[in-house]
Amino acid sequence: MAGSGSPQPKRPNPPRKGQSNLRKPLQVMHISRKEDVQSQGDLDSNDALENTDLKEANTTKEGIDATLVSPAKPLDIVNRDKANQVEIKSQGSAELTMGDLLAQENLSQQNKPELPNYNSDIFSERTVDEFDFDEGAFLAALEENEPIGNTGEIAKGAVIGVESDGVYVDIGGKAPGFMPKSECGLGVITNLKERFQKGLEVEVLVTKEQNADGMVTISCRALALRKSWDNALELAKGGKVVEVKINGFNRGGVTCDLEGLRGFIPRSQLNEGEKHESLVGKLLTVAFIEVNPDNRKLILSEKKAATAEKFSKLQIGQLVEGKVISVKPYGFFVDLGGISGLLHQSMITNGSLRSLREVFDQGDEVKALITDLDPGRGRIGLNTAMLEGLPGEILIEKDKVLREAEDRAKKAQTILKPKEEIEEIK
């Protein structure tokens, strides 16, 4: 067989000793585990280093804080603290004992600055006067910072600027007052700069309080209307008559203008109520029926104007003559030429009166003094008792009293005149 020359198959070489472990998968795992152990060791060393640095930083910070809290610490204590810090650094990860912690706490408490006690007697015994409180200065500061311009208040100031939409007026506040163009006056104002020149002194009414910028809204028109209402009330109270121009009409009557106020005259109060539309543009003399500023209600009357005009010619103490037109249980109504006055039973005589008709009857002529006059309500109070020389004289010699009424009235007027002056003063 050996000589036949046929090739023999190759046998695998037996594995060498020591190489079997290199082929095992565990050999790779062993290497990987070794690398993990090495990496873990590096991490532990890094953590230890970081902990050491943190301890050093905290130790250094505590030392700095202690130095800051007690700036007057002696030099030897500072050196001792530094030595302790060096000792802590040298120990590395050495742990502190409870005694060391307590010692450090006591040392920090001793180095803390002593704070003042605000509850002590030194502070509680002080009074307001010890703080130099000046009441006058305090009130002056309040007055200086008090807002200027409350709603409904009248203010005066000078024009400081004119714009296309309104006028700026200095009324003494921290910001000027603004007056819109529509509030610059009654009627239509075409040229503001011509009407309100810089430096012009004006009187205005505050219609809106100051905003966040301290500016208030003011109005010349509102102030003019307020004065017109006050004037109308005064005229109505005195029973005066005024002349107005008719500027419009409706189904119920006509409208007019009175010092910027819109008045209304009902058809029943017109002398020509049937053709009231023809009165537009004409002037009428009217009296007041109702004046109410709150409701802006102004009612006038042409018919009442004649009566009001007659009232305007009367005065307290005046001797008037009229005719009894009505007899009532409480007195007589006397016609005085379109208006009537009341002769009350208590004002007829100073004597004992048993019956009204004992003195006058309906249709009799009467002379009497005016002792009460209220044009607003259309009332006239008459008196014949003041014409008597003796109490009850008019009951016995009525004709004599009436015949001498003018002379007797002069004596009575000296009594009524002081009373009239007192009423005017009130």
Domain count, the chain: 3
The closest of 220, 73, 104, 82 to 157, measured between CA atoms, is 220
Residue 191: band (very low, low, confident or very high) from pLDDT cuts 50, 70, 90: confident
The CA-based angle 328-314-307, given to 5 degrees, is 70
Whether 318 and 411 map to the same domain: the answer is yes
Tokens of 301: 């009357």
pLDDT tens column, 117-142 = 555 555 455 555 555 556 777 666 65
Whole-angstrom CA distances from 25 to 22, 32, 351 are 8, 11, 153
* Lookup: tokens for 130: 């010890």
From 202, 224, 246, give the residue that closes a domain.
224
Same domain for 324 and 253, yes or no, is no
CB 266 within 8 A of CB 252: yes
Is 117 part of any domain? Answer: no
pLDDT at residue 89 in the model: 45
CATH number for the domain that contains residue 203:
2.40.50.140
Does 301 lie in the same domain as 318? no
* Same-domain status, 319 and 410: yes
Across the chain, mean pLDDT equals 75
Tell me, yes or no, whether 159 and 186 share the same domain.
Answer: yes
Residue 26 within any structural domain of the chain: no
Same domain, 412 and 334: yes
Residue 254 domain flag: yes
Which of 49-53, 103-107, 239-243 is predicted most confidently? 239-243
**Last residue of a domain, which of 281, 305, 329?**
305
For residues 240 and 227, the answer to whether their CB atoms sit within 8 Å is no
Based on the fold, state whether residues 199 and 219 are members of the same structural domain. yes
What is the DSSP annotation of 30-84?
HHHHHHHHHHHHHHHHHHHHHHHHHHHHHHHHHHHHHHHH-TT--HHHHHHHHHH
| 299 and 324 assigned to the same domain | no
Domain assignment of residue 38, yes or no? no
If asked whether residues 393 and 421 sit together in one domain, one would say yes
* 300 shares its domain with 318: no
- Residue 178 pairs in a beta bridge with 168, 217
Residue 147's pLDDT is 55
Q: What pLDDT, on a 0 to 100 scale, did the predictor assign at position 215?
A: 82
| Residue 184, Cβ density class (10 Å: 0-12 exposed, 13-18 middle, ≥19 buried) | buried
Answering whether pTM is above 0.85, one says no
pLDDT (0 to 100) of residue 299 = 95
| C-alpha dist (Å) from residue 255 to 121, 221, 337 | 80, 20, 30
Report if residue 356 sits inside a domain. yes
CB burial string 138-169: b at 16+ within 10 A, e below:
eeeeeeeeeebbeeeeebebebeebeeebbbb
Rounded CA separation 163/106 (Å): 76
Task: Look at residue 13 and tell me if it is in a domain.
Answer: no
Segment 380-402 shows an average pLDDT of 90
Q: Of 224, 247, 262, which one is at a domain's C-terminal end?
A: 224
Q: Do 199 and 279 share a structural domain?
A: no
* Range(s) of the domain holding residue 193: 154-224
- The pair phi, psi for residue 404, each rounded to 5°, is -100, 20
pLDDT of residue 283: 92
Which amino acid would we find at residue 276? H
- Exposed, middle or buried, 86 (CB in 10 Å: 0-12/13-18/19+)? exposed
- Which is more confident, 387 or 75? 387
Tally the C-alpha atoms within 13 A of residue 66's C-alpha that lie toward its C-beta. 24
**370 domain-assigned:** yes
49 domain-assigned: no
Comparing 17-21, 333-337, 394-398, the range with the smallest average pLDDT is 17-21
258 in the same domain as 320: no
- Residue 11: predicted pLDDT: 59
